[in-house]
Amino acid sequence: MKNPFVKEKNNALIAGIIIGSVAAAAITCLFVTEKGASVRQELGGTLSRLHDKIFGGGAQQNGEAEEDHHQDYLKKPHKTPKTDREALLKDHILTDSGAHE
């Protein structure tokens, strides 16, 4: 059983709280202030040039392809009706695939 009177060293916890606070303040300044908006634009340009340098310059083409791919997930999936009644209610064309001969 732990002795409740022994003081534990919480240096890592305190350091983590301080680093997290500084990071949160920096991110807040980037998104709240007008100067932060200009800094974000500069960082965006710098990061895109760095990405082009590292990965071979196909950032624009890949970005467009990814945007189209994301649009596919945003569309509602087309569900086929399970019964004839459901097909009639949703104005789907009925076929004779389920008819018995």
Is residue 45 a part of any domain in this protein?
yes
Number of domains in the chain: 1
For residues 6 and 24, which has the higher predicted lDDT (pLDDT)?
24
Buried b (16+ CB within 10 A) or exposed e, 24-44: eeeeeeeeeeeeeeeeeeeee
Helix (H, G, I), strand (E, B) or coil at 71: helix
At residue 65, does pLDDT exceed 70? no
At 25 the pLDDT is 93
Report phi then psi at 92, rounded to 5.
Answer: -90, 155
Is residue 99 a part of any domain in this protein?
no
Is residue 41 a part of any domain in this protein?
yes
Expressed as residue numbers, the domain containing 75 is 11-94
Is residue 66 a part of any domain in this protein?
yes
Q: How confident is the model at residue 42 (pLDDT cuts 50, 70, 90)?
A: confident
Is residue 64 a part of any domain in this protein?
yes
- When mean pLDDT is compared across 5-19, 27-41, 80-94, the lowest value belongs to 80-94
